[in-house]
Amino acid sequence: MKRFILCLLALGSALIAAERPNVLIIQTDEHNFRTLGCYRKLLPPEQAFIWGDGVKVETPHIDSIAERGAVCTRFYATSPVCTPSRAALMTGLYPQNTGSITNDLPLLDEMETFAAVLAANGYDNGYAGKWHLDGEAKPGWAPQRKFGFTDNRHMFNRGHWKKLGEDASGPKVAATSAKGEPNYDLAGADEKSFTTDFLIDRTIEFVRKQRATPFCYMVSIPDPHGPNTVRAPYDTMFDPAVFQQPKTALAKGDKLPSFAQVMQDRFNQRQMANYFGMVKCIDDNIGRLIAALKETGQLDHTILIFTSDHGDMCGEHGRHNKGIPCEGSARIPFVIAAPGLIQPGTIIHESLGTVDFKPTLLGMLGFKSKRDMQGRDASTLLKSGKAPADWTDQTFVRIGGTQKGAAGWLATFTQRHKLVLSPTDDPALFDLDTDPFEMKNLFHDPAQRDLIRTLAKGLEGYVSASGDPHAKSPAVMADLAWATSAAIEYSAPKRERVRRVKEKDE
């Protein structure tokens, strides 16, 4: 009788586990949202095709995730550089509270990730690809601290390696210098060794594994971050001659703060053609992964998420890379298919950030965290397609503030506006409906005074609740005090001397 009861209990546990959906997260690195078809279709042509009329890369497989679920049109990196954005996504905390406020700073030991919560609820977890939360190790295979990702054999800490391999000793960078040091060489990379292909192969192996419990797997692809190189045939798939410099690089702008002022970075057509090639390679591999989920009968029982850690300006405002609050840098793709939970074709316009990811995923699954989180649970928004009555459409984004005089900023974004304050730069207000390319600073427009006050009050609450280090900046706090006050005339405070601090190589 005792054995019979135990068998029933085991069967019951297996059935409960079977009802829980798998979770599969695909994250890219430095990915401009305009390269995805599911975003272009929601934009007018002048915003969808900024590199030339009709110049695009087709992404049918990523688009299919959006078609089966939701696309979030205003999803932002909580801090648009690698380590702090990833830390926010993993923990549901703002970067300054994770230990990883800037690149290469390790996540604090005591942090609870979403993977740890899922593991505690019976999930079989794994991770492949770039991690960038374990300090300066490079590549740093299989970090000792797993943070809930039990199988992290194919996780590496840092680097944008183009060619990977594996032998009896484990995975390795397959391109090395004459001295045996790993490098970013592409020579000889093919559909098995090119990093994107290699990591998706490892993901498919994990997906095909027979198990009695649900799984959570995250694959973090280091492309389309530079170096802008890609294996054949993607290296010649796009004609460099058709790429044009974005028009914002040729415009002057109106009262722009330094972060948005047009620079004269050289626009490299070949680099953009290869960037598109990397995106196409990623999409084709996601097609292989989706096919594996179909073959194993798991597609309709898997929450499938595609996102990135931050964007890339890709020539807008004459700039490249990230680290600024402009859309190309801070706005990232986020599409999610959750069969039975999210209605296919859902479009979410409310602003969200990577800090909202953990509470939202746990809300979707019905799990509780043992730790406080600072992000918002947007699961009701995703499932209903409508914001709850108590929803406030403000997402807080920040960078820097860790060294006196170092360039940095903090901001509040809504689906239409963004207010940006900085210890070293003039305040900025942009209206994305009337000025989608952020070429006109409205901060000094008297007609915007009430809007500024509303946005600033939200930002004031964020600073107080989150312990943002920008609270130590007299200039930021003076701007915030004026913005939340009834005062009309603005008087600029004395600003800290600008000292650029370059993020370390990722």
The model carries a pTM of 0.95
Nearest to 425 by CA among 251, 261, 248: 261
Average pLDDT over residues 402-423: 88
Task: Compute the mean pLDDT over every residue in the chain, rounded to the nearest whole number.
Answer: 94
Nearest to 106 by CA among 92, 128, 90, 87: 87
**pLDDT band at 4, cuts 50/70/90?**
very low
Residue 16 confidence (pLDDT): 39
Question: Does any domain span residue 220?
Answer: yes
- 344 vs 407, residue with greater confidence: 344
* Total of domains in the chain: 2
**pLDDT band at 295, cuts 50/70/90?**
very high
Question: Does any domain span residue 339?
Answer: yes
Residue-range definition of the domain harbouring residue 240: 18-384
Domain match, 217 and 236 both: yes
| Omega before 139 within 30 of 0, i.e. cis | yes
Residue 428 DSSP class: E
Domain match, 345 and 414 both: no
Q: Describe the crossing of helices 269-295 and 195-208 by its angle, rounded to 10 degrees.
A: 10
Cβ 94 vs Cβ 88: under 8 Å = yes
Q: How many angstroms separate the CA atoms of 447 and 477, rounded?
A: 23
Q: List phi, psi (to 5°) of 156.
A: -125, 150
Domain match, 423 and 360 both: no
Domain match, 222 and 318 both: yes
Question: Does any domain span residue 151?
Answer: yes
Question: Does any domain span residue 408?
Answer: yes
- Residue 458 confidence (pLDDT) above 80: yes
Residue 496 confidence (pLDDT): 84
- Residue 234 confidence (pLDDT) above 60: yes
- Residue 415 confidence (pLDDT) above 60: yes
Q: What token pair was written down for 176? A: 């090395």
Q: CB-based contacts of 219: which residues, under 8 Å, 6+ apart?
A: 24, 25, 26, 27, 127, 128, 129, 199, 200, 202, 203
Largest CA distance in the chain: 82
Q: CB-based contacts of 305: which residues, under 8 Å, 6+ apart?
A: 23, 24, 25, 26, 65, 334, 335, 336, 337
CATH of the domain at 214: 3.40.720.10
What is the share, in percent, of the chain residues with pLDDT greater than 70? 94
Domain match, 405 and 376 both: no
Residue 404 confidence (pLDDT): 54
Question: Does any domain span residue 197?
Answer: yes
Q: Can you tell me whether residue 285 is helix, strand or coil?
A: helix
Domain match, 369 and 406 both: no
Question: Does any domain span residue 501?
Answer: no
Average pLDDT over residues 365-386: 97
Q: What token pair was written down for 411? A: 């901001």
**pLDDT band at 503, cuts 50/70/90?**
low
Count the helices and strands in the chain (H runs, E runs): 13, 16
Residue 266 confidence (pLDDT): 82
- Residue 392 confidence (pLDDT) above 80: yes
Residue 401 confidence (pLDDT): 84
Nearest to 325 by CA among 270, 273, 258: 258
Q: What token pair was written down for 438? A: 């952020």
Domain match, 118 and 216 both: yes
Domain end point (choices 333, 357, 384) = 384
Average pLDDT over residues 360-383: 97
Q: How many angstroms separate the CA atoms of 214 and 341, rounded?
A: 17
Entry field: residues in the chain: 506
CB count in 10 Å sphere of residue 505: 11
Domain match, 199 and 325 both: yes
**pLDDT band at 10, cuts 50/70/90?**
very low
Q: How many angstroms separate the CA atoms of 444 and 447, rounded?
A: 9
Domain end point (choices 384, 416, 435) = 384
- Residue 13 confidence (pLDDT) above 60: no
Domain match, 169 and 225 both: yes
What is the sign of the dihedral through the CA atoms of 176, 308, 404 and 442?
positive
Domain match, 291 and 332 both: yes
| Omega before 214 within 30 of 0, i.e. cis | no
Question: Does any domain span residue 494?
Answer: no
- Residue 501 confidence (pLDDT) above 60: no
- Residue 147 confidence (pLDDT) above 90: yes
Average pLDDT over residues 74-101: 98
Q: How many angstroms separate the CA atoms of 189 and 487, rounded?
A: 62
Average pLDDT over residues 288-292: 98
Q: What token pair was written down for 14? A: 């297996």
Q: What is the 3-state secondary structure (H, E, C) of 313-350?
A: CCCHHHCCCCCCCCHHHHECCEEEECCCCCCCCEEECC
Q: Describe the crossing of helices 474-484 and 449-466 by its angle, rounded to 10 degrees.
A: 130
Domain match, 256 and 204 both: yes
CATH of the domain at 430: 3.30.1120.10
Residue 265 confidence (pLDDT): 72
pLDDT for 90-106, tens place per residue? 999 999 999 999 999 99
pLDDT for 304-353, tens place per residue? 999 999 999 999 999 999 999 999 999 999 999 999 999 999 999 999 99
Average pLDDT over residues 167-190: 95
**pLDDT band at 9, cuts 50/70/90?**
very low
- Residue 506 confidence (pLDDT) above 90: no
- 45 vs 498, residue with greater confidence: 45
Domain match, 129 and 106 both: yes
Q: Can you tell me whether residue 153 is helix, strand or coil?
A: strand
